[in-house]
Amino acid sequence: MIGVLVSGNGSNLQALLDAGLPVRAVASNRKDAYALMRARRAGVPTATFSLDCHTDREERDLVMATWLEEHGVELVVLAGYMHLLTKPFLDRFPDRIVNVHPSLLPEFPGAHAIEDALAADVATTGVTIHLVDDGLDTGPILRQEELPLEPRETLEERIHAVEHRLLPTVVREMMVTS
Ligand code: GRF
């Protein structure tokens, strides 16, 4: 069973749902994330774990991990989740947390990967699917796909199209091998 962490639009969550993958719980750090609407529309339980409601990040992550486990989650997908995860969460799902990132890591980690690639004017960028550790977009790489930067006007759209194809593919493979 899959749990998805989100902070924003949730188009990658939508791709997982559309692919028919067993998403059983969706958690967010922001109650206004549009991704939560997508989950509710699909009948998937949602919850918000805001930092404001907890003494620190570790406590929040512990409570969030417990909620996911209570929903039968064995594999966690970060789909536009904008907080780093702390040890109490990582220890609950060893090698079972996967992230989608819009660059060819280790190039352009962080929250502005597409803008950073455009600013650096590289010839090629792409999409990375990787396991999550306690660093910023640093875990072992599972899959990458390259894209030419040009035409710049459509880069974001092309990156998202690759994400929406690659993420469900890799997640499905991980479920088969679990
Ligand atoms: C995606 O580009 C993903 O690679 C990055 O955040 C974005 C999330 O988009 N980590 P969405 O919320 O899935 O639409």
Average pLDDT value for residue range 163-167: 98
For 151-161, b where at least 16 C-beta lie within 10 A, e where not — what string?
A: eeeebeebbbe
What is the tens place of the pLDDT at every residue in 32-80?
999 999 999 999 999 999 999 899 999 999 999 999 999 999 999 999 9
What is the rounded average pLDDT for all residues in the chain? 97
pLDDT category, 109, cuts 50, 70, 90? very high
Half-sphere exposure of 9 (CA within 13 A, CB side): 4
User: Measured in angstroms, how far is the CA atom of residue 108 from the centroid of ligand 1?
Assistant: 14
Q: What's the mean pLDDT in 149-167?
A: 98
In this model, does residue 177 exceed pLDDT 90?
no
48 lines ligand 1 (CB under 6 A): no
Q: Please compute the mean of the pLDDT values over residues 162-176 and round it to a whole number.
A: 96
Ligand 1 and 138: CB distance under 6 A: no
Q: Is the CB of 168 under 6 A from ligand 1?
A: no
Ligand 1: centre distance to CA 102 (Å): 8
Q: Is residue 79 within 6 Å of ligand 1 at its C-beta?
A: yes
Nearest atom of ligand 1 to the alpha carbon of 14: 13
Which whole number is the average pLDDT over 140-158? 98
pLDDT at res. 176: 86
Query: How far apart are the CA of 12 and the centre of ligand 1, in A?
Result: 6
The pLDDT value given to residue 101:
98
Cα–Cα distances (Å) from 146 to 8, 48, 50, 54, 132, in that order, read: 24, 34, 35, 40, 21
Instruction: Give CA–CA dist 59/57, Å, rounded.
Output: 5
Query: Is residue 132 pLDDT above 80, yes or no?
Result: yes
Check pLDDT > 80 for residue 178: no
- CB of 163 closer than 6 A to ligand 1? yes
